Amino acid sequence: MSMRTFPPFCGMLLLAGCASDYKCRDTACSGSDSGFDSDASVDTDMITDTDTGADTDTDTGSGSDTDTSGDTAVDTGEDTGEDTGEDTGAVVDISFTVAWDAKGVTLSITGGEGTYSFGMAEESDNGWYGEDCVAGPGPNSGTYDICHDGVSSTGLSLVTVTRPTDVMANSTTLLNVTIASTGHLAYFVGDNDSGDCWEMNDGDAYWACR
């Protein structure tokens, strides 16, 4: 089984299918407090009383209160948070199996999401390509251009019919268990949303899925 991936269109910042070839970033610096409190008051007591002692009260205190503390706190914090999320367009890979019996065929899908298309091609001389999911009538298939494009994420079943006119998409198939037993049947499963596709037993690389 191989797979083809078509590149998706992706948004640049936030997140923002593809065409397929089948139907489908204070400084808070408080000012330096340079206030200079100067207590330069001088108390001179010149009172003269009978006491000849001169009371001289000399307050020479020249205390200077200097607040030299400077608020130099700088908020250098910066938001370096970066959204590195990107849409990588990852492919949701699946696997599938095909089982035949006398009534018809059952396609089983594992890991599926959304809806799919299912195509089959009888890769032999005069083989039936009327259900190959390739746009336009296939070789040896007259005007029949059928694709089982309503497949759920888990698969579907098709009932075998004997006339091309009775083939209905998502319901019946002209192919049968006898044809399948020859080993010439190739199978295609395509993602209806992304355009990715998978194929099995496709010796002729008819769909060219990667």
Whole-number pLDDT of residue 140: 84
Whole-number pLDDT of residue 13: 31
Q: Which residues are within 8 A (CB) of 160 and not within 5 positions of it... i.e. 6 or more apart?
A: 102, 103, 104, 105, 172, 173, 174, 175, 176, 177
Whole-number pLDDT of residue 203: 87
Whole-number pLDDT of residue 90: 60
How far CA 71 is from CA of 30, 135, 192, in Å, comes to 5, 77, 65
For residues 90-118, one letter each, b for 16 or more C-beta atoms within 10 angstroms of the residue's C-beta and e for the rest, the string is: eeeebebebebeeebbebebeebeeebbb
Comparing CA positions, the residue from 22, 7, 4 lying closest to residue 210 is 4
Say if residue 67 is exposed, middle or buried (CB neighbours under 10 Å; 0-12, 13-18, 19+). exposed
Whole-number pLDDT of residue 10: 36
Q: Which residues are within 8 A (CB) of 192 and not within 5 positions of it... i.e. 6 or more apart?
A: 24, 114, 115, 116, 117, 149
Q: Which two tokens stand for residue 122?
A: 């009888």
Other C-beta atoms lying within 10 Å of the C-beta of residue 84? 5
Tens digits of residue pLDDT in 123-167:
998 999 999 999 887 788 889 999 999 999 999 999 999 999 999
Listing from the earlier edge strand, what are the strands of the sheet with 2-4?
Answer: 2-4, 197-200, 185-191, 116-122, 148-151
pTM higher than the cut 0.75 = no
Residue segments in the chain with a per-residue pLDDT below the cut of 70: 1-91, 210
Q: How far apart, in whole angstroms, are the C-alpha atoms of residue 117 and residue 96? A: 12
